[in-house]
Amino acid sequence: MESEEPPMPWTKEEFEQFNCIGRWTFDDHKTDITPFILDKDGPKQIENPDFKEFLSQEPKSSPTIKIFLTTGITGSATPVQMTLDNFSYWNARAGIPKRLLKIRANSDDMGHMEYLIERDKEGIAAISIVCDWAPYGDVYIWFIARRDFRTGTLTVLVSSKKPLDSEVIMGYLEDRQELLLEEPMHFIGLLLTAAGAWCRGRVSRNVKDLLEIEAEIGVTIDRDYFRSRSYRMDNDDFEDINARLFGEAKSIAIHRIYIDHLKDFSAILLDIMQNIKKQRSPHLFDSAQASWLGSEERGSYELEYLDKRMQSVMNNLEYSHTVSQTLFQVLYNRMLQRDARLNYRIARAAKQDSTAMRTISILTLTFLPWTAVSAVFSGTVFDFQNWGNADAHVSSPGWWVFALACILSTLVTVAAWWAWLYKSERKLDWEEAKEKEKEEEAEAEALAEAEEEKDEDEKGSIKSKSSRVSRLTNRSRQSVRSHRTGVSVRSRKSNHLTVDDAV
């Protein structure tokens, strides 16, 4: 017989009031859910079910696990591909407390787990859990679950991208059937275990990517190892390497957050399971086999195992973080070395150009006086029309004046250039010496100021101590004086009273 319809508290107005619409994203027209059930008849995946009819069915046996797997819209909010009405119906039918979702909806953490425990006379009556893991990344696991000990059911609505799909869920139900029927809450641990497995794979990928970057930077001594695996060696595109290295460092930081959240979630869930053990089934952890988690010891906790595995992954992340920071420094040094080599080549080319220009200048200075003198004396010094004429001379009798003038003007020009060059170099040397002298004076002044401050601090401390001693001395003197004055006044009063009495 179908149970009575539960109330529908989750209206759109209430979601807007609680800010749930901004926290979760729903599909306005479609509900895409794959249901699973595990009871005494074994695990089953329900094909093309009526959502509300399947959810409202009473369990055939106890315990019974109902799982609703959905994927959906990717974005800044947690994706849930189902209508708001169906989501409200699911929460009402499962009995999820309104305040639990309100707590989660008002939180903007990158990972969050909240739970509420309902108690009756026998102890724990029901446990409700809502969990977001990596809600803003390219991978996530989101679920709402309620374990009702009165009906012996576990109802889970889970949405995931990458770590979980229908095959993974069905595999968990088939392989862990005995363990899950003994305590259905182990399924929540399996969800966290799936997230941990994904983290291990991503961290291994980070390590491999860092090895590739190490090979491309060219600082490794294991060149044969990288060549045997066809790694690219000595990449000069440092901008591309820097961008990829930044991406790896960011990925490592995000995965550290994800793993920290998993460790926190496993601790919370372990606390819940221990409460169940104490109040509901104290024999549970003494008899449950956990060999599927890699441990053959009786009484092993899958959550403790998950915590240990996550600690191992965290150690790998710490190693990867250290390597990435070291590679950043090495890459920076390589970039400096490349820039230094480029500057050296530029300086060498400039020096060659300077030598060539100096040679051209010397040649110009050599021939310039000759050109000037030739312009003046070309008309009368040589007459080549008289070449071969025995009665005439080709050169003027005063040709030596031309030669002497050219030689003297050349010497004067070269001497003037050398004097100018010598003066320029001396000026540069003087300026450099002046700058060096100023730097030395500044350093000396800084040292002197530091010494003065140190002396002032020492003097101030001594002065404060002496002033404190003097204040204490003055106080003691004043107390002694006041004591003496009081004694004298008391003695005078007593004497006065004695006289009066006598009178």
The pLDDT tens digits for 32-85 are 788 999 998 899 998 877 878 888 888 887 889 999 998 755 444 446 777 777
Joined together, the tokens standing for residue 406 give 């050219």
Tens digits of pLDDT across the chain (503 residues): 334 444 444 555 555 555 454 456 666 677 778 899 999 889 999 887 787 888 888 888 788 999 999 875 544 444 677 777 788 888 888 888 878 877 766 666 777 888 888 888 878 889 999 888 887 667 788 889 999 988 889 999 998 877 888 888 999 899 888 888 888 888 988 888 888 888 888 888 888 888 888 888 877 666 666 776 677 777 778 888 888 889 888 888 888 888 888 888 888 888 888 777 776 554 443 433 333 333 333 333 466 667 777 788 888 888 888 888 888 888 888 888 888 888 888 888 887 788 778 888 888 877 877 787 777 666 667 776 777 777 777 777 777 887 888 788 888 888 888 888 888 888 888 988 888 888 888 888 888 888 888 777 776 665 555 565 465 556 555 554 544 444 343 433 333 333 333 32
CB atoms within 10 A of CB 26: 23
Distance CA 167, CA 190 (A): 14
Query: Are the C-beta atoms of residues 100 and 116 closer than 8 Å to each other?
Result: yes
Distances (CA, A) of 473 to 160, 461, 476, 482: 79, 18, 5, 14
Q: For the residues of 280-294, what is the DSSP string, one character each?
A: T-TTHHHH---GGGT
Q: Does residue 42 come out as left (phi exceeding 0), alpha (psi in the -120 to 50 range) or beta?
A: left
Distance CA 345, CA 104 (A): 62
Joined together, the tokens standing for residue 62 give 């106890």
CB atoms within 10 A of CB 361: 11
Which residue's entry shows tokens 């996530």? Answer: 140
Domain ranges of the chain: 1-184, 189-367, 393-502
For residue 299, which phi and psi values (nearest 5 degrees)?
80, 15
Please name the residue ranges forming H helices in 176-301: 177-182, 186-217, 223-228, 238-279, 284-287
Query: Are the C-beta atoms of residues 204 and 161 closer than 8 Å to each other?
Result: no
CATH class of 1-184: alpha beta
Query: Are the C-beta atoms of residues 20 and 84 closer than 8 Å to each other?
Result: no
Query: Are the C-beta atoms of residues 143 and 164 closer than 8 Å to each other?
Result: no
Which residue's entry shows tokens 């641990």? Answer: 189
Query: How high is the pLDDT of residue 402?
Result: 76
Side-chain half-sphere CA neighbours of 138 within 13 A: 6
Query: How high is the pLDDT of residue 378?
Result: 67
Distance CA 358, CA 344 (A): 21
Q: For the residues of 5-66, what is the DSSP string, one character each?
A: PPP----HHHHHHHTHHHHEEE-SS---EEEEEEETTEEEEPSS--HHHHHHPPPSSSSEEE
Virtual CA dihedral for 468, 472, 477, 479, nearest 10 degrees? 140
Distance CA 240, CA 215 (A): 14
Joined together, the tokens standing for residue 134 give 């990596």
Distance CA 250, CA 257 (A): 11
Query: How high is the pLDDT of residue 67?
Result: 92
Distance CA 29, CA 65 (A): 28
Query: How high is the pLDDT of residue 284?
Result: 41
